[in-house]
Amino acid sequence: MLGQTMHRAMELLVAGGLSASDAWDQAVEEKDAGGDERAVRPGERRARLRFERQAPALSKLLEEIGAEEIHVEPRVTTADGLLTGRADLVAVTATGLVVVDHKSGTVRAGGHIQESHREQLLLYGAMASHAFGRAVEHLALISMAEGVVDVPFVDADIESAVAQAVTRLLAYNRIAPGSQPGDPGPENCRHCPHRARCDAFWSSVSEEWRTEIGVALRGRVLRVESSARGTTAVVMEEVTGNVERLDSCIVTELRLCREISPGETLALVGLQQSRAPVGSFKATERTVTSIG
């Protein structure tokens, strides 16, 4: 729970322009939205102090590298689509990409960066490079216990990490006994890339999940419109999800993996509700889709 609060506070610090203190307060408020007054969670005071102490280090890093664009939790994949994930932060500079992963605890063991953290960051680097069309020039971990920890690498390290991960994935797929039952819940589904096409998710999702996963909608496509910016707007009918049932709705700012036609079923998770009109939503960097 505190790890999710810390990630959200970091997002608000970087993308929302808030101070470390205000970012933490808003992250906690969002986490507890709609709940009764509660006692401070065990470890929360210490987590807040760590966040306020280490957050300026990330702000300094982004200033030093001259970030031109900052993307928080973008969904990224490898070129073959076999590996997918959400990098905590990708900064675009004039010369390449800087990829940062947040860790609530320590990242070193015995004086060395833990191999699992390093491998994860190398994979995020590969996927971010494909997504943004730029080479990775800097990898870093931001630890709430240790501050900013640079992760040295060469291009061959990234290539090797991808090759090993794909080998393990294919080996698992060969022996796995087919589809596994889902265990839906707001925390389990928050980062799952399959949630938009998961029947267990749609049979369980509720309005109480919106703090964790955003708005989730599924319906039949009625009309499709393309914008000059390369995004798509879709009007849907017979809409269900974690909002009150709608006869129809419109979703804008979509970036779909393929063309979609009226009559197809479209499922969307991670939308943001627009202020007006009623039944209007827009896609975000967290939005995942399923067509058909």
pLDDT value of position 3: 72
Q: Strand 147-150 vs strand 108-109: parallel, antiparallel, or unpaired? A: unpaired
- The tens digit of pLDDT for each residue in 96-127 reads 999 999 988 889 988 899 999 999 999 999 99
Structure token digits, residue 283 = 């896609």
Is pTM beyond 0.85? Reply is no
- Nearest in space to 100 (alpha carbons), one of 79, 64, 131, 128: 128
Just give the CATH number of 2-174.
3.90.320.10
pLDDT digit string (tens) for 218-275? 999 999 998 877 789 999 999 999 988 788 999 998 888 778 899 999 999 999 988 7
Tell which CATH architecture fits domain 186-291: Beta Barrel (2.40)
Q: Any idea where the domains of the chain sit in the sequence? A: 2-174, 186-291
CA distance 183 to 96: 39
- Separation between Cα atoms, residue 260 and residue 262, nearest integer Å: 7
Taking the CA of residue 142 as centre, how many other CA atoms within 13 Å lie in the half-sphere pointing to its CB? 29
Strands of the chain, DSSP E: 69-72, 75-77, 84-86, 89-92, 97-103, 108-109, 112-113, 136-143, 147-150, 215-226, 232-241, 246-254, 265-273, 280-282, 288-291
* Beta strands per DSSP E along 79-214: 84-86, 89-92, 97-103, 108-109, 112-113, 136-143, 147-150
Reported as half-sphere exposure (CB side, CA atoms, 13 A), residue 255 has a value of: 9
Provide the pLDDT confidence category of residue 42 given band limits of 50, 70 and 90: low
DSSP strand pairing (69-72 vs 136-143):
unpaired
